[in-house]
Amino acid sequence: MPDGAKIKELCDQLMFRRIFKTFRMAIHPRKMTLAFLAVLAIGLIGWLMDLSGLQVDRWPDTLLVPDTGKEVGMFRQLYGIIASQVHVGFFALAKLDIPAFIRSVISSLEALGCAFNTHPLWSSIFFALMLVVLSLAGGGICRLAALQFAEGERPGLMDCIRFAFRRFWHLFLSPVAPLALVILIGVFVFVGGLFGNIKYVGEILLGLGMPLVLLFGAFMALLILGTLAGFGLFFPAVAYEDTDCFIAVNNGFRYVFVRPWLTGFYYLLAGVYGMVTYYFVRIVAFGMLWTSYKFLQLGVFGGNAKLLDLWPEPTFVSLVGQFRAEDLQSLPATMIVGRFLIYVCCLAVLGLLVAFCLSFYFTANTIIYALLRKAVDGTAIEKVEREKAQTPTPSTPPQQPANQETGTTQTSQGT
């Protein structure tokens, strides 16, 4: 067999070329609508929770903290740090600077850890509500992507939303259940450690129980590793199988541990492809804002001073522009209203960019789940579980005795 035919056969077996359908599927209007609604809901939740006035007085010196002003709440602080780190990470990947990319990921995790250490209650409530929103939006996007990828079907937006609400608790609990099990096992280890405080006997009990403790530790490590590696497969499993969280977690863990190299290859390919498409979408968004600004600049007289007060010039790094609250002090009320409306429009463009990232993430994971399911279980990609229709069986009316002479049904005659 020629080398070209062997390469083509290998590509067909790995099926990785199907991952390149992600961009075309991710920009589907229904998926983008669900993702944008999720971004809007998370932003609204963060804005409302910022009314509490909580903020971190001092972030770690290793973090790149943007200058967001003094009166900024927790959500805006955390968003500013993570957004800057994500931006640094994307540019690092574009330059193939892997150490810089790893540092950006570590800095983002460090910011999350600092937020939990400083205000654990606020952080727990916010991320729980965030998971609620992502469960609904992600479940709907994954269901739509599964039907589109498997059967070429494009169900309605409300059908996907109804599916997400019907399977909400399984979507919500699928990433929570493994971590809850880790905590439960950790409690048992903690209780076992309390026996070590017994005088003279405690150290012997700890020594005797150490094999069991190490076994628990290994199980917890596998749970954490499986959750981190298979987290993206939980929602697609619910969407494809129309099942509960336990089967979703089982499938996610099983596919990752059975085919780890294939899983890593799929995610690496999807990550590189996602980075390229992200830059393409960001260039389009920047081009839209920049050309709009430049043509407005031609029409606004007065040395461009009024337009600068209304709309700071957007850049590729800062699509929204440098809107500062202190700039409003010297502006009249009409300028403040106009500036606010322009700011909202720019935020909408940025929200669409973030929505594309969400849509791409859930769509790519759905495709990867289908490919891994085919590789591990041999299940056809076209197979998507449907909701069992509960249609009541119509009751058959009792038959009237037939007239033997005419062969017709006998009916009662009125007198």
In the structure, what pLDDT confidence band is assigned to residue 73 with cuts at 50, 70 and 90? confident
For 369-407, give one letter per residue: b (16+ CB within 10 A) or e. Answer: bbbbbbbbeeeebeebeeeeeeeeeeeeeeeeeeeeeee
**Does 318 lie in the same domain as 276?**
yes
Residue 243: the pLDDT is 87
| Residue 40 covered by a domain | yes
Distance CA 147, CA 181 (A): 32
> What's the pLDDT at 94?
74
Residue 358 to residue 349: CA distance in whole angstroms: 14
Least confident of 112-126, 240-254, 306-320, 381-395: 381-395
Q: What domain count does the chain have? A: 2
Identify whether residues 281 and 348 lie together within a single domain: yes
For 127-142, the DSSP string reads HHHHHHHHHHHHHHHH
CA distances (Å), 388 to each of 138, 174, 385, in order? 22, 22, 9
Which of 101, 118, 135 is the last residue in one of the domains? 118
328 found inside a domain: yes
User: Quick one: CA torsion of 175, 180, 186, 190, rounded to 10 degrees?
Assistant: 150
Using CA atoms of 148, 150, 151, 153 in order, give the dihedral in degrees to the nearest 10. -10
- Burial of 126 by CB count in 10 Å (0-12 exposed, 13-18 middle, 19+ buried)? buried
Mean pLDDT for all residues in the chain: 83
Same-domain pairing of 40 and 97 = no
Length of the chain: 415
Confidence band (pLDDT; 50, 70, 90) for 412?
very low
Number of H helices, E strands in the chain: 13, 0
Confidence of residue 408 (pLDDT cuts 50, 70, 90): very low
Same domain assignment for residues 299 and 368: yes
In this structure, are 40 and 100 located in the same domain? no
| Same domain membership, residue 62 and residue 48 | no
**Would residue 277 count as lying in a domain?**
yes
Q: pLDDT tens digits, residue range 331-372?
A: 788 888 888 898 899 999 999 999 999 999 999 999 999 999
Side-chain half-sphere CA neighbours of 155 within 13 A: 19
User: Is 44 inside a domain boundary?
Assistant: yes
pLDDT of residue 317: 80
In a domain, 376, yes or no: yes
**Quick one: 288 and 356 in the same domain?**
yes
Q: Are residues 29 and 105 in the same domain?
A: no
Mean pLDDT, rounded, for 103-125: 88
**What is the percentage of the chain residues whose pLDDT exceeds 90?**
41
Higher pLDDT, 43 or 312: 43
Q: What is the mean pLDDT of residues 219-248?
A: 91
pLDDT of 406 above 70: no
Last residue of a domain, one of 95, 118, 141: 118
Confidence at residue 10, expressed as pLDDT on a 0 to 100 scale: 53
CA distance 369 to 206: 43
Same domain flag for 378 and 324: yes
pTM: 0.84
In this predicted structure, what is the pLDDT of residue 294?
86
Domain hosting residue 73, numbered range: 57-118
User: Quick check: is 167 in a domain?
Assistant: no
What share of the chain in percent tops pLDDT 70? 85
Res 387: pLDDT: 72
Tokens (6 digits) for 400: 């009237």
Any residues with CB less than 8 A from the CB of 303 and at least 6 apart, and which? none
Provide the pLDDT for residue 306: 79
Question: Is residue 395 scored above 50 in pLDDT?
Answer: no
Torsion of CA 125, 131, 132, 134, to 10 degrees: 150
In a domain, 61, yes or no: yes
Give the model's pLDDT for residue 325: 65
Are residue 28 and residue 114 in the same domain, yes or no?
Answer: no
pLDDT tens digits, 180-232: 999 999 998 898 888 888 888 888 888 888 889 899 999 999 999 988 888 99
Which one is predicted more confidently, 314 or 57? 314
In which element (H, E) is residue 303 found? none
**Lowest mean pLDDT, pick from 68-77, 225-234, 267-276, 307-316:** 68-77
Of 65, 98, 118, the residue at which a domain comes to its end is 118
Which DSSP symbol is given to 119?
A: -
pLDDT computed for residue 100 by the predictor = 83
Q: What is the mean pLDDT of residues 256-261?
A: 92
Residue given tokens 């995790």 in the structure block = 109
Cα 367 from Cα 16, distance rounded (Å): 10
The pair of structure tokens assigned to 220 is 């917890």
Residue 287 and residue 367 share a domain: yes
CA distance 181 to 403: 71
Residue 308 shares a structural domain with residue 370: yes
- 394 pLDDT tier (thresholds 50, 70, 90): very low
> What is the band of 70 on the pLDDT scale with cuts at 50, 70, 90?
low
Task: Report pLDDT digits (tens) over 136-185.
Answer: 999 999 999 999 998 777 788 898 899 999 999 999 999 999 999 999 99
Q: Which residue has the higher pLDDT, 195 or 404?
A: 195
Residue 38 lies in a domain: yes
**pLDDT value of position 327:** 65
